[in-house]
């Protein structure tokens, strides 16, 4: 079959567009110009959905203010609803990293919506005299308010998904905290024996630190609901009718269900990327915490014969091509690596935010690309850690207990009774001779009785120590 084309033009010239596609000439130029990541906008359907929200709200506001004819507005709303419902994502082929501050993304949306709307009105694709990508779909807008507003909405929803995943992970750690509450183990500082604790308390601490980040992420997420719709090019609202910024923001809140508010200073809001820096920084903090936890899981499960071996991680795959029977902690390892990626992406966002000049930051595409990837990758890592590792961890209770009782660190509990100097001498003798603290303190030197020892080193007193003298 002979392929059909339509001819479209912009002020740079004309191009033939495959008539089967809904995008137009400006999207085609972006396809030709930007071969960077190989990852198209269609990879982030949540962003396309957000663009649909923005274009729908704009059409509704422009209709109410008499700027758009009702039939044109209805066609835009129809097409925008298609995007909101997840249709036509394949019509967004522009690379996620691009020049132009997101203009190609915005025009991609304008062209797709225009051509969908034209078909709805009974016209052919490209008959822009009836519904134009710039004059109608982009009415009262600029890329500089439409793109960041859609980005904020998409980021808000994507953060929701990540926060739910992180909260589920902290609940899994909390459940293990309850399960391991009766397990006595040795605490360690600087990889040296410290004082006893409960394995349950150790896992509860993992849950607590992640729960804190769930709360902080929700607080920072709220900053994304402040938008600059109606700012148009630089924040002066040029080409927008009176009352448009307030009305389009109201409609955005209604159709998204989010508490969206209009920024007080539209000029500042158009150039500012501070909220994205905060989200990125918080994601980096969470990544660092997750990586630290995974380091601990790898240490606690090390061995099995010549390591700590206090816990068992689920065995997921053979660990060596040469050493039979070796099983590696592959799930914590992959989370570590994902965390390193996030930390690096945060630096990219930092530099991109700093690169803003005067009334606009043209680097928002790499900010959006980086933040979307951070959230996606860390979300996958969190789910993987919960499902394939944390939920299946078991405790080696007897090994934990033996390490406690063989440790020199337990002498610390005798400080209030014997004093630091005497306890240091006991620790030194135990280290030099290989004797246990119990043997030196009770059997040989008889500093305390067996009954006192049993009281001081009872499970309850080791887990929740009380002052004794």
The residues annotated with a catalytic role in the active site are 320
Report residue 287: phi and psi, to 5°.
-60, -40
How far, in Å, CA of 304 to CA of 62, rounded?
A: 68
Query: What's the sign of the alpha-carbon dihedral 366, 367, 371, 372?
Result: negative
Q: Are 332 and 325 in contact (CB under 8 A)?
A: no
As a whole number of Å, the end-to-end CA separation of the chain is 95
Cβ neighbors of 347 (< 8 A, separation 6 or more) are none
Measured torsion, CA atoms of residues 265, 266, 272, 276, in degrees rounded to the nearest 10: 100
Closest Cα partner for 165 from 214, 222, 224, 216? 214
Alpha-carbon Rg for the chain, nearest whole angstrom, is 31
3-class secondary-structure state, position 95: strand
Residue 312 is encoded by which pair of tokens?
A: 């068992």
Closest Cα partner for 232 from 147, 109, 110? 147
Cβ neighbors of 179 (< 8 A, separation 6 or more) are 200, 395
DSSP letter, residue 187: E
Closest Cα partner for 80 from 46, 107, 108, 114? 114
391: left (phi over 0), alpha (psi -120 to 50) or beta: alpha
Place of tokens 């389009």: 248
Strands 5-10 and 311-312: unpaired
* Cis omega (within 30 of 0) for bond into 198: no
Residue 402 is encoded by which pair of tokens?
A: 């033996």
How far, in Å, CA of 5 to CA of 255, rounded?
A: 36
Residue 333 is encoded by which pair of tokens?
A: 């390892």
Query: What's the sign of the alpha-carbon dihedral 79, 82, 87, 93?
Result: positive
How far, in Å, CA of 73 to CA of 58, rounded?
A: 9
* CB crowding 116-154: b at 16 or more within 10 Å, else e: bbbbbeebebbbbebbbbeebbbbbbbbbbbbbbbbbbb
């Amino acid at each position: 079959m002979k392929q059909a084309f339509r001819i479209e033009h912009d002020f740079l010239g004309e191009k033939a567009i495959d008539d089967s596609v809904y995008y137009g000439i400006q999207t085609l130029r972006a396809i030709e110009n930007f071969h960077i990541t190989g990852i198209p906008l269609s990879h982030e359907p949540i962003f396309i959905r957000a663009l649909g929200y923005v274009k729908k709200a704009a059409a509704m506001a422009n209709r109410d203010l008499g700027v758009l004819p009702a039939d044109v507005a209805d066609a835009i709303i129809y097409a925008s609803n298609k995007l909101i419902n997840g249709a036509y994502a394949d019509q967004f082929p522009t690379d996620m990293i691009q020049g132009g501050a997101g203009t190609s993304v915005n025009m991609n949306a304008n062209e797709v919506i225009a051509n969908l709307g034209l078909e709805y009105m009974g016209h052919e694709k490209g008959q822009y005299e009836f519904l134009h990508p710039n004059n109608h779909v982009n009415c009262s807008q600029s890329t500089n308010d439409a793109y960041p507003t859609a980005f904020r909405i998409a980021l808000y929803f994507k953060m929701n998904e990540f926060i739910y995943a992180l909260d589920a992970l902290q609940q899994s750690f909390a459940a293990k905290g309850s399960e391991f509450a009766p397990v006595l183990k040795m605490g360690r500082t600087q990889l040296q024996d410290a004082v006893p604790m409960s394995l349950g308390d150790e896992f509860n601490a993992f849950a607590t630190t992640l729960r804190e980040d769930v709360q902080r992420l929700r607080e920072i997420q709220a900053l994304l609901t402040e938008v600059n719709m109606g700012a148009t090019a630089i924040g002066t609202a040029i080409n927008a009718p009176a009352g448009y910024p307030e009305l389009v923001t109201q409609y955005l809140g209604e159709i998204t269900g989010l508490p969206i508010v209009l920024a007080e200073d539209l000029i500042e809001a158009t150039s500012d990327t501070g909220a994205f820096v905060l989200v990125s920084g918080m994601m980096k903090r969470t990544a660092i915490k997750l990586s630290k936890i995974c380091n601990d899981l790898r240490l606690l499960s090390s061995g099995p014969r010549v390591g700590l071996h206090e816990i068992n991680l689920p065995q997921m795959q053979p660990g060596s091509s040469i050493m039979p029977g070796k099983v590696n902690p592959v799930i914590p390892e992959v989370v570590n690596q994902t965390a390193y990626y996030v930390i690096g992406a945060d630096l990219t966002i930092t530099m991109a935010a700093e690169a803003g000049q005067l009334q606009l930051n043209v680097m928002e595409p790499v900010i959006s690309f980086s933040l979307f990837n951070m959230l996606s990758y860390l979300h996958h890592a969190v789910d993987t850690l919960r499902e394939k590792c944390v939920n299946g961890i078991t405790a080696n209770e007897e090994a934990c207990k033996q390490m406690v009782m063989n440790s020199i660190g337990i002498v610390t509990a005798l400080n209030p009774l014997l004093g630091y100097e005497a306890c240091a001498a006991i620790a030194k003798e135990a280290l030099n001779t290989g004797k246990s603290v119990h043997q030196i303190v009770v059997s040989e030197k008889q500093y305390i009785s067996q009954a006192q020892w049993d009281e001081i080193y009872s499970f309850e007193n080791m887990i929740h120590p009380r002052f004794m003298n």
